[in-house]
Amino acid sequence: MEARKDFLVIHDDDLRNFALQKAAEYPNFAFKACSSWINNWKSKHNVTSRKIQKLVSKRAVRTHEEILQSVHDYRRSFKELASSFYPSYVWNSDQTGFNMEIISNRTLSTKGEKRTYGFANSPKNKVTHSYTVQYIISMDGDIIGDAYICFQVCFDFKG
Residue 46: predicted pLDDT: 85
| CA distance linking residue 135 with residue 145, whole number of Å | 8
Phi, psi of 129 (to 5 degrees): -120, 145
| Tens digit of each residue's pLDDT (9 = 90 or more) over 104-154 | 666 766 667 777 777 666 555 555 567 888 999 999 999 999 888 887 655
Residue 83: predicted pLDDT: 92
Residue 49: predicted pLDDT: 82
In degrees, rounded to 5, the angle at the alpha carbon of residue 35 between the alpha carbons of residues 33 and 41 is: 70
Q: Which residue has the higher pLDDT, 106 or 13?
A: 13
Residue 137: predicted pLDDT: 94
pLDDT at 57 over 50: yes
pLDDT at 36 over 70: yes
User: 109: left (phi > 0), else alpha (psi -120 to 50), else beta?
Assistant: beta
33 to 1, 3, 23, 39, 139: CA distances (angstroms): 18, 19, 9, 10, 63
Residue 159: predicted pLDDT: 45
pLDDT at 95 over 80: yes
